[in-house]
Amino acid sequence: MNSSTCYHCGLPLSEETTIRQEDRAFCCRGCQQAWAMIRSMGLSGYYQHRDAGAVGMQPQEIDQASLATFDDPLYQEKWVHPVEHGCLEVNLILDGLHCAACVWLNEQVIRHLPGVQEVWINFATHRARVRWQPQQTALSEIIAAVRRIGYQAEPYDPSQQEWQRNRQDRRLLTRLGVAAFGAGNVMFIAVALYAGYFQGIDGDTKQFFHWISLLLSTPVLLYSGSVFLQAAWRGLRARRLTMELPIALGAWVTYLYSLYVTLRGYGEVYFDSVTMFLFILLGGRFLETLARNKTAAAMERLLNLQPRQAVVLRNGEAVTVLVREVEVGETVLLKPGERVPVDGTILSGQTSVDESMLTGESVPVSRGIGDPLVCGTLNLDGGVTMTVTRIGEETALARILRLVEQAQAARPPIQSLADRMAGHFVGVVLLLALLTLAWWWHDPAQALENMVAVLIITCPCALGLAAPAAMITVMGSAARSGILIKNGETIERLARIDQIVLDKTGVITLGTPRVARLLPAAGHDEESLLTLAAAIEHYSEHPLGRAIRLACQERGWQPVAGVEQVCNHPGVGLQAQLNGEVVRVGRATFALAAESGSLPALPADVQQPVTWSACSRAGQLVGWIGLADPPKQNAPQVIAALQQMQLPAMLLSGDRRAVVEHVGNLTGIKTCISEVLPAEKEAVIARLQQEGKMTAMVGDGVNDAPALARADVAISVANASDLAVASADVILLNRDLSAVVQTFRLARQTLRIIRQNYWFSFFYNVLAIPLAMAGLVAPIIAAVAMPLSSLVVVGNALRLRQPEGMPAVSTSPFAKGG
């Protein structure tokens, strides 16, 4: 291990927290104790296996001593965390995954272990999240099961992720280089052999070229092509037909036949076909790896938003500690320019915070005492202290990352069907390849060549990639726009929705009251009315009071000075003294009834559904302030866009009928249901479903949770309650209501592209199989056609990177460059 990193976990060392023992350095006391226990148990070989990366370890070489380390309580304290129902959950990094079939095989093996409840594997990041009952299965048994089928697994360490990925890339690049060298030279020799075939060639020279080709192609097959053979063997050991099996059979049958011809000294060899199609396949795999690394890098950029260290107040002193050592309830000091290390609330200070990583909005927001701070957001211009409320996997940042990973790893029903078809498809391919050997009685060489072409050209990679490529791409595209989709099945349901129900407050409207109308009394103007009310409301934290202050600030007016003896009357308003006169703001009965027996009537033309507050001075009316929760600026355009997509909108709210219908008229929503309780909201959704409508519900509050849970698709908007988020299938991090339209457009385009990919895969195989069986496609052409078919599928899926009708610019961390 590097001297600047922890000997046990590999994290960078800090001078303030480094603990040294003997010739080793540790980042914290927990790592030191874990090392001490591993050494006392005689398991020091664990570190040698870890540092070597367990490269090339075969299934029979599993070290039981090193596996025991994974069950050590101190070790699990760092990498394993408890979840509901007494289960444990761990993130594993898997080495050796090459395609969707590898993912499927590992999932099947892990899922069939006793006590394993859920397993998600993200092919883009090579990470697996496993949830299991520790009473039935140990972590070491899970890792051993993966190693038995030839893959490597160990707890995911973010600090080692880039190193592991670079190591895998180097290994793949080395295999590609060997294949390129062998294929290039063998092809030169093949040119001479083909020329000799037509123009004549000396027998000894021809045999010499055969032996040179054999020597060059052997390392290509045994080293570069070993990835396909190993993957095929893993599948057979697990009694599964994987996509690598036809590739491995095609390469080995062609090689063995050419070896037989070389030893016999008569006939034609096909070493050029073996080396070239392995080179092409590895080249396609390397390009796929580069694309996958970009996806993994985007996920890591989000993870890296969390600082590794935090400054904590302990015993009155500021102490720098690792973030994982911070505890709930502690006080953290945050300087300008620093990222928030954990979730918490501000204890003291005022600042502006860049929350673009959370909401996708670039405009900083003001935060003061009592306001929440979210892990990963950027403190811009003020020093604050904060109380820690959530740490580790419970922070908003960790939950967002977990949702994205689960969404990418989850398989929709349409993809699950393809996975099942792929296994049967391989069996059909093998049968057809055997039938192709019927050519043997006519021309053995032609029969062999045709069989190899069938095995290669019908590789079901395009079928296997049809849905995963689209899903991974759309999850990244959605995340860049501030849209988190929990699973692939949600995308399918979204595409079939034909009725959308929207809550009013916080969804269609801003969710906070604003001053909608100022009606000054005779002898007063709007400025005198608003500045007087704002001077008194300066001492209030009521939402209506904040709206009055905000309106005064937006107009550039200064509140009246000299207000004193402010007294709050809960539920009715505020009272204060100004130059010896009583000033009141609040309900009309409070502001005027104490001094006047009757209330002045509002003008007939302002009887709109707003909340009216009265302001009086010395018992005389100064004016009326009308407050309302206005619709979001783009709400009418969003509703119109939904209607164009054949998605009729319904407004569902517990607010007064006049208010709900007024908002409906302003936004163009024709169907409005008002004055409903949470249970009644759920009943409305159930009634729509009974009428045969696929219903989506958009909400943000606790009162929306039952309706969200009932809906076919539940969508929660920014700043939604935790319960609403828990009930949601889609979470919109951006406050912009247009994200609702973008979500439906994404879903419909994704399902359309998946169907296009499946149809292409179907017609490709229907066309390719007869041509290969008839001998019209040579193995070398098949080797080119197979990866090209996969590239067509991936290229079609990449159109989702810039979906139809969605902007290209984003401020989310998922965007390129962070």
CA atoms within a 13 Å half-sphere pointing along the CA-CB vector of 513: 21
Contacts of 125 (CB under 8 A, 6+ apart): 292, 295, 296, 299, 405, 408
Q: For residue 57, what pLDDT band results from cuts at 50, 70 and 90?
A: very low
pLDDT digits (tens, 9 = 90+) for 308-359: 789 999 888 888 888 878 888 999 999 888 889 999 999 988 887 877 555 4
Q: For residue 523, what pLDDT band results from cuts at 50, 70 and 90?
A: confident
Please give the structure tokens belonging to residue 10.
């590999």
Catalytic residue among 95, 272, 343, 503: 503
Rounded distance between C-alpha atoms, residue 779 and residue 773, angstroms: 11
Q: For residue 816, what pLDDT band results from cuts at 50, 70 and 90?
A: very low
55 pLDDT above the threshold of 70: no
304 pLDDT above the threshold of 80: no
Q: Say which residue, 570 or 672, is predicted with more confidence.
A: 672
Q: Say which residue, 763 or 77, is predicted with more confidence.
A: 763
pLDDT for res 323 = 84
Under a CB-based contact definition with an 8 Å cutoff, are residues 515 and 626 in contact?
A: yes
pLDDT digits (tens, 9 = 90+) for 485-494: 776 678 888 8
650 pLDDT above the threshold of 70: yes
The per-residue pLDDT of the chain, averaged, comes to 76
- Our CA dihedral for 281, 286, 290, 292, rounded to 10 degrees, sits at 60
Rounded distance between C-alpha atoms, residue 706 and residue 709, angstroms: 5
pLDDT for res 331 = 93
Q: Kindly give the interhelix angle for 779-797 and 738-773, rounded to the nearest 10 degrees.
A: 170
pLDDT for res 460 = 52
Phi/psi for 59 (5° steps) reads -55, -40
pTM, 2 dp = 0.53
pLDDT for res 810 = 36
170-182: average pLDDT: 90
Under a CB-based contact definition with an 8 Å cutoff, are residues 49 and 66 in contact?
A: yes
431 pLDDT above the threshold of 80: yes
Q: Residue 521 gets which letter from DSSP?
A: P
Q: How far is CA 418 from CA 18, 101, 393, 611, in A?
A: 51, 11, 33, 57
Q: Considering only CA atoms, which of 213, 229, 212, 211 is closest in space to residue 281?
A: 229
pLDDT digits (tens, 9 = 90+) for 687-727: 998 898 989 998 875 557 678 778 888 888 866 545 455 55
∠ CA 239-242-248, nearest 5°, is: 110
- The residue whose two tokens read 């096909």 is 270
529 SS3 class: helix
Please give the structure tokens belonging to residue 717.
């908007």
Contacts of 489 (CB under 8 A, 6+ apart): 410, 412, 413
Rounded distance between C-alpha atoms, residue 196 and residue 206, angstroms: 8
Rounded distance between C-alpha atoms, residue 689 and residue 712, angstroms: 8
Contacts of 442 (CB under 8 A, 6+ apart): none
Of 189-198, 603-612, 740-749, the one with minimum mean pLDDT is: 603-612
Q: Say which residue, 545 or 246, is predicted with more confidence.
A: 545
pLDDT for res 522 = 86
- The residue whose two tokens read 């969605």 is 806
pLDDT digits (tens, 9 = 90+) for 453-481: 787 677 555 665 666 667 767 777 777 77
- The residue whose two tokens read 């070229």 is 209
402 pLDDT above the threshold of 80: no
Three-state secondary structure of 554-575 = HCCCCCCCCEEEEEEECCCEEE
Please give the structure tokens belonging to residue 535.
């001077």
200-207: average pLDDT: 81
Please give the structure tokens belonging to residue 387.
């109380």
pLDDT for res 346 = 92
pLDDT digits (tens, 9 = 90+) for 87-115: 888 888 887 776 666 777 788 888 888 88
Q: Considering only CA atoms, which of 324, 541, 357, 323 is closest in space to residue 334?
A: 323
Under a CB-based contact definition with an 8 Å cutoff, are residues 721 and 731 in contact?
A: no
Q: Amino acid identity, residue 159?
A: S
Q: Which phi-psi region, left, alpha or beta, contains residue 267 (left: φ > 0; alpha: ψ -120 to 50)?
A: left
pLDDT digits (tens, 9 = 90+) for 745-774: 888 888 888 888 888 878 888 888 888 888
Q: Say which residue, 644 or 705, is predicted with more confidence.
A: 644
Rounded distance between C-alpha atoms, residue 26 and residue 5, angstroms: 8
Give the whole-number percent of the chain exceeding pLDDT 90: 9
pLDDT for res 631 = 87
Please give the structure tokens belonging to residue 749.
């385009």
Catalytic residue status for 204: no
555-570: average pLDDT: 83
pLDDT digits (tens, 9 = 90+) for 2-47: 456 667 655 556 665 577 776 777 766 556 655 665 555 444 444 4
Q: Amino acid identity, residue 123?
A: F
Please give the structure tokens belonging to residue 266.
């008569």
Which range, 406-420, 536-550, 599-613, is most confident?
536-550
β-partners of residue 348 are 385
Q: Amino acid identity, residue 419?
A: D
H or E element that contains 620: strand 620-628
211 pLDDT above the threshold of 90: yes
Q: Say which residue, 632 or 706, is predicted with more confidence.
A: 632
Give the whole-number percent of the chain exceeding pLDDT 70: 73
Please give the structure tokens belonging to residue 117.
């409840």
pLDDT for res 41 = 43
Beta-strand runs (E) in 271-398: 309-314, 317-322, 331-334, 343-348, 351-354, 365-367, 372-373, 378-379, 384-390
Q: Say which residue, 150 or 431, is predicted with more confidence.
A: 431
251-272: average pLDDT: 81
Under a CB-based contact definition with an 8 Å cutoff, are residues 612 and 625 in contact?
A: yes
Rounded distance between C-alpha atoms, residue 89 and residue 110, angstroms: 13
Which range, 235-239, 363-367, 471-475, 478-482, is most confident?
478-482
Q: How many CB atoms lie within 10 A of CB 192?
A: 13
60-70: average pLDDT: 60
CA atoms within a 13 Å half-sphere pointing along the CA-CB vector of 369: 4
Rounded distance between C-alpha atoms, residue 178 and residue 181, angstroms: 5
